[in-house]
Amino acid sequence: MAELRKVLVVDDSKLIQQMYRLIFSKYKGCQVLGALNGLEALDVLASQDGIDLIVLDINMPVMNGVEFMQKLKSEGLYRHIPIIVISTEGKEEDTRKALKLGAWGYIVKPFKTEMLYEMVDKVLAKKPAYLYGQK
């Protein structure tokens, strides 16, 4: 299984970003980088090496999660970095769109921390496209 050293959390809520910092510090003790939207996330990706995982929200200002994934896919950028989408948008069409654009997994908020840990383990083991949620 690959080692998890850096996670990029893309979410427009600083409180949610803090929650992910806590979750990942307890789980793997890795560094968590934050971005408030897809455009900021592109800047972080361009300036930071060694990002192992992207945790992505869908609904954000400036550039939302779908637009961010479309940009990565259209330019072939960072395709080696797995993306887990975590969003309140649990609609089937959003899930299909995210997975089609390259997300390795999709979790619906609210979720149990163990659910995220299990998803990360599977993604790091290179097992894509899992769906978890509570709606």
Q: How far is CA 81 from CA 50, 51, 53, in A?
A: 9, 7, 6
CA distance 83 to 129: 10
Class of domain 6-132: alpha beta
What is the torsion angle, in degrees rounded to the nearest 10, for the CA atoms of residue 22, residue 110, residue 121 and residue 17? -30
Q: At 110, phi and psi to the nearest 5?
A: -75, 155
The pLDDT tens digits for 8-19 are: 999 999 999 999
Residue 104, Cβ density class (10 Å: 0-12 exposed, 13-18 middle, ≥19 buried): buried
pLDDT band, residue 2 (cuts 50/70/90): low
Domain edges within the chain: 6-132
Predicted confidence at residue 91, as pLDDT, reads: 64
